[in-house]
Amino acid sequence: MKRFLFLIAVLAIFASCASRKEIVYLQNSNVIPENIYAKYAPKIQQEDLLTILVSAEDLKATLPFNQQNQYQIQTAATNDLAFKPTYLVDHNGEIDFPVIGKLKFEGLSRLEATELLKSKLSQYIVNPGVNITFANFKVTVLGEVNRPNTYTLPQERVTILEAIGMAGDMTIKGVRENVLLIREKNGVKEMHRLNLLTDSLINSPYYYLAQNDVIYVEPNNSQVRNSRFGQDTNVWISISSLLITITALIVTNIKN
């Protein structure tokens, strides 16, 4: 009888355990990392908000290009972005920049847009400096993570691992080899499945995230089965396993 109880306890404990191959990120680590960020840097899209600051040795020459609109002036007391000239990329992929007028930014990286604006400003300013940043760069992490949420980031250089880290990492029940990435390009939704267990991920075109990316971590089969019996099933299984183990020890001591 005690052997039977001990066997049940052992099976209950190991049934709730996951193997190393199912959990550890970037296994093997044989891949040589490439400098892929420049190649896969996020592109500017419609509805993006860009903050643009122009600088130069002659500060007076920059004033016409660092104007604030009426909305920014009115909200300056409550929003830090209000102190920075902010531009919406419209449905034509353009911004309306002071003095220069319409500029096509859609499809350009932040650095490419910076160089374009510099070339336009050089007609008015000697050696202009341009600082462009995304004001609304955000990613959403859902599913089997500890803090699912939408995260607004101060800069656009973020990897999928960093985004999952912001969400408190995956739970032990998350499927790491089949993470869903939803990305929008030119108004079309794309879906990509990523394996976070393999080191080839770091050279993937989806290792660095783009604005408005959605990451979904699906639950493993055990979690799906347990959900049929209610959220407290795992707790009761753990308690039952503990009681079985204690009972087995008591029975053994009595017989001895």
- Would you say residue 24 has pLDDT above 90? no
Please state the pTM of the whole predicted model: 0.72
- Note the pLDDT tens digit of each residue in 35-44: 888 888 999 9
Which pLDDT value is given to residue 25?
Answer: 82
Q: What is the mean pLDDT of residues 145-160?
A: 94
% of the chain at pLDDT higher than 70: 72
Is pLDDT above 60 for 66? Answer: yes
Residue 242: pLDDT over 70: no
Q: Is the Cβ–Cβ distance between 125 and 174 less than 8 Å?
A: no
CA distances from 95 to 21, 76, 90 (A): 48, 21, 6
pLDDT score for 38: 83
pLDDT at residue 179 greater than cutoff 60: yes
Per-residue confidence band for 243, with pLDDT thresholds at 50, 70 and 90:
confident
> CA 224 to CA 48: how far, in whole Å?
37
> For residue 60, what is the enclosing H or E element?
helix 59-62
Name, in order, each residue with C-beta under 8 angstroms of 225's C-beta and a sequence gap of 6 or more: none
